Amino acid sequence: MIEINGLYKRYHNHHGSDWVLRDINLSIPKGVSVGLVGRNGAGKSTLLKLIAGMDTPERGEITRNCRVSWPIGLSGGFQGSMTGRQNVKFVARVHGSRYNVEEIIKRVQEFAEIGDAFDEPIKTYSSGMRARLNFGLSLAFDFDVYLSDEATAVGDRAFKAKASKAFKDKVGQASLIMVSHSEGILKELCQAGVYLKDGQATWFDDVNDAIAAYHEETDAARQANGNSSKPAKIEQGSDKEEVTIPEGLTLSQARQQLRQIKDEFDVAKAAFEQAKADDLIPRERKAYGDAFRDARDRLHEARRQVQALTRLRREP
Amino acid sequence: MTQPTNSADGSGGRSPWQVTRSVWYAMFMREAISRTMSDRMGWFWMIFEPLAFTMIMVAIRGFIRGDNLIVGAEFIPWMIVGIMGFFLIREGMMRGLGAVGANSALFAYRQVQPVDPVLVRNFLEGMLRTFVFLLFMVGAELLGVGLFPDGGMRAMLWWVSLWSLGLGLGLIVSVAGSLVAEVGIVVRMVNMPLLILSGVIFPLNHLPHWLLEYIMYNPIVHGLELLRAGFFEGYKVVHGTSATYFWMFTLATLALGLLMHVRFADRLKAK
């Protein structure tokens, strides 16, 4: 059972600071897994840090009547110059003599599956390896509530599957408070949801409702930004060409397309230059030249589409 | 050193003291390894640095002459005691300076408070310095230089006192240096003049009285003189040396340092 009463939080900086969280009142029942949703900067990670006791609120209080983990995620928790093993030892010792250090090391090593890197300094790890280690470490302790801040975001598929399986195994003994932008994993692991917007938190008994509320906001934001899902013809000023954006093309799709076309262009360009260097007769060279020019045109078109979509998103 | 909310949490009913103790243990093991093992020659430098320093100073003083200014003690042992005592304080301060920053990643675990690394580092540094000093004593004795303290208890008392002053300064500097980066630069800058002003290399006896009046505001002088008095029977301390002043100063720095840690704990963690 975690209770949050009248919580206010802001970060101080040199030019006046606004509240990140404003009057949050929540009570999270025992054994209920909660997904935190909201846009970037809504205060999800801040709330998680406060629940973990890493940070202190300006006003209000948090009562934890259970064992709460640290926020499992990308940021922090490990000393870069020490090896994975030494970090694990440290955390095991901090959590007291109830835990057998050797056993914890073994469990973490088994879960993380990072091989010999376990005895290398953490600063040499990739973000995926860090996430594996951090995740495995938190699972080695018997917490009542696990806090996850995008802990699975950087993992590969095998790790994601392993992580969600590990959490499912813990159902009944432990619950989860997680921040994630992957809705699949939220729906899979959480029952309830908290939706954060403008520093306010809304509790939903069903995580799907929280996700729906979040969608409503993002859809509204997209609407306000000129709704890029409709076919749009944009005037880009007199000196620029018109761009037609095919129906249903989103920015990420357009970016992907651009990358693909860029690759094709690079191939065509290399072939063309090779042909030139080989001193082919003009007739034979023409095919390469045409392919090159064609690829260049397509590349420019794709780039314009991406730019137009980016602009659409930025300014309504 | 844990937050009050923690005592209410049912983490197996660990009391704040138990939590703090396991944090100190974990941190001590961590710091001990990184202090002695991480540098390739960590151990070597720990012993060689004061040794080389002493030898250089002896060589310089051999040219300048003036060994006869010290009443009641041989010059070389006199200087070794001073250097060791000064290094104890200086390292206490310098280790404190980096303690919070170097461990900031570990504040992710709410059991760990910013004051913990400072305390642990100071303890570790003191233990190492004590060990090195003992080695020096044995080594000097083998070379025929009398370095065993004449008043063992007094020497130990003042050794611990200097340790406390180093801790107090380390506590203050760790907070101030983490919040205001410039403090670190100033502290490093002050190191060298402090070595001379504390009467580590040159005896202060022959300084004019008006100058001595100001120099005696430096508590390190008092501590070092009293440490030497513990080592050498019949040693004549610098006029105006006061144990009371030293301890008033030390207790004040300890109190101020701890208060600063209480006051700024949140800000240090957020850094």
Rounded to two decimals, the pTM is: 0.75
> By the 8 A CB rule, do A236 and A284 touch?
no
Mean pLDDT value across residues A295-308: 82
Best of B103, B110, B267 to mutate (most A CBs within 10 Å, chain A):
B110
pLDDT, greater one: B143 or A96: B143
* A78·B27 Cβ contact <8 A: no
Query: Confidence band (pLDDT; 50, 70, 90) for B218?
Result: very high
A74 in contact with chain B, both atoms CB, cutoff 8 A: no
Tokens of B108: 């992710």
What pLDDT is stored for residue B174 in this prediction? 94
* B26·A90 Cβ contact <8 A: yes
Helix (H) or strand (E) holding B64: helix B42-64
Distance CA B203, CA A261 (A): 80
Could you tell me which chain A residue has the CA closest to the CA of B34? A82
pLDDT, greater one: B91 or B270: B91
What pLDDT is stored for residue B20 in this prediction? 92
* A81·B108 Cβ contact <8 A: no
Q: Which residues contact A198 (CB under 8 A, 6 or more apart)?
A: A22, A42
Task: Select the residue of B3, B18, B108 nearest A96 (Cβ to Cβ).
Answer: B18
Distance to chain A for B114, nearest Cα, Å? 12
> By the 8 A CB rule, do B75 and B61 touch?
yes
The CB density around residue A205, as the number of other CB atoms within 10 Å, is 11
Distances (CA, A) of B91 to A162, B129, B163, B215, B248: 47, 9, 10, 21, 21
What pLDDT is stored for residue A236 in this prediction? 43
What pLDDT is stored for residue A258 in this prediction? 82
Best of B19, B20, B22 to mutate (most A CBs within 10 Å, chain A):
B22
Chain B contact set for A65 (CB, 8 A): 8-10
Distance CA A275, CA A293 (A): 14
Distance to chain A for B174, nearest Cα, Å? 19
Distance CA A231, CA A249 (A): 8
Q: Which residues contact B72 (CB under 8 A, 6 or more apart)?
A: B232, B233, B234, B235, B236
pLDDT above 70: residue B69: no
User: Picking from A12-26, A71-85, A220-234, which range would have the lowest pLDDT averaged per residue?
Assistant: A220-234
Q: Distance of alpha carbon B39 from its chain centroid, rounded? A: 21
What pLDDT is stored for residue A245 in this prediction? 67
Mean pLDDT value across residues B42-60: 82
* A54·B105 Cβ contact <8 A: no
A62 in contact with chain B, both atoms CB, cutoff 8 A: yes
> By the 8 A CB rule, do B166 and B126 touch?
yes
Write out residues 9-38 of B within 8 Å (CB-CB) of A.
9-12, 14, 18-19, 22-23, 25-27, 29-30, 33-34, 38
Mean pLDDT value across residues A281-306: 80
Best of A59, A95, A134 to mutate (most B CBs within 10 Å, chain B):
A95
What pLDDT is stored for residue B5 in this prediction? 41
What pLDDT is stored for residue B164 in this prediction? 96
Distances (CA, A) of B227 to B153, B158, B236, B241: 11, 5, 12, 11
Tens of pLDDT, residues A44-61: 888 888 888 888 888 888
Tokens of A306: 């991406």
Within chain A, residue ranges assigned H as helices are 44-52, 84-94, 101-112, 127-139, 157-170, 183-189, 207-224, 251-277, 282-314
Mean pLDDT value across residues B20-28: 92
Distance CA B47, CA B26 (A): 26
> By the 8 A CB rule, do A47 and A196 touch?
yes
Chain B contact set for A81 (CB, 8 A): 34, 38
User: Picking from A65-79, A131-145, B191-205, which range would have the lowest pLDDT averaged per residue?
Assistant: A65-79
pLDDT above 60: residue A237: no
* B10·A80 Cβ contact <8 A: no
Beginning with the edge strand found earlier in the chain, give each strand of the sheet holding A59-64 in spatial order: A19-28, A2-10, A59-64
Q: Which residues contact A263 (CB under 8 A, 6 or more apart)?
A: none
What pLDDT is stored for residue B146 in this prediction? 80
pLDDT above 80: residue A311: no
Tens of pLDDT, residues B82-119: 999 999 999 999 999 988 988 888 888 888 999 999 99
Tens of pLDDT, residues B135-166: 989 988 898 888 888 888 999 999 999 999 99
Tens of pLDDT, residues A152-197: 777 778 888 888 888 788 777 888 898 888 888 888 888 889 988 8
Mean pLDDT value across residues B2-13: 44
By percentage, how much of chain B surpasses pLDDT 90? 45
Positive or negative torsion for Cα B29, B35, B41, B47:
negative
Chain A contact set for B23 (CB, 8 A): 94
pLDDT above 90: residue B124: yes
Ramachandran class of A113: left when φ > 0, alpha when ψ lies in -120 to 50, beta otherwise = left
What pLDDT is stored for residue A219 in this prediction? 82
* B103·A79 Cβ contact <8 A: yes
A195 in contact with chain B, both atoms CB, cutoff 8 A: no
> Which segment, A68-77, A221-230, B9-18, is predicted with the most confidence on average?
A68-77
Task: Select the residue of A81, A89, A97 nearest B38 (Cβ to Cβ).
Answer: A81
What pLDDT is stored for residue A190 in this prediction? 87
Of B108, B132, B121, B78, whose CA–CA distance to A138 is shortest?
B108
* B19·A96 Cβ contact <8 A: yes
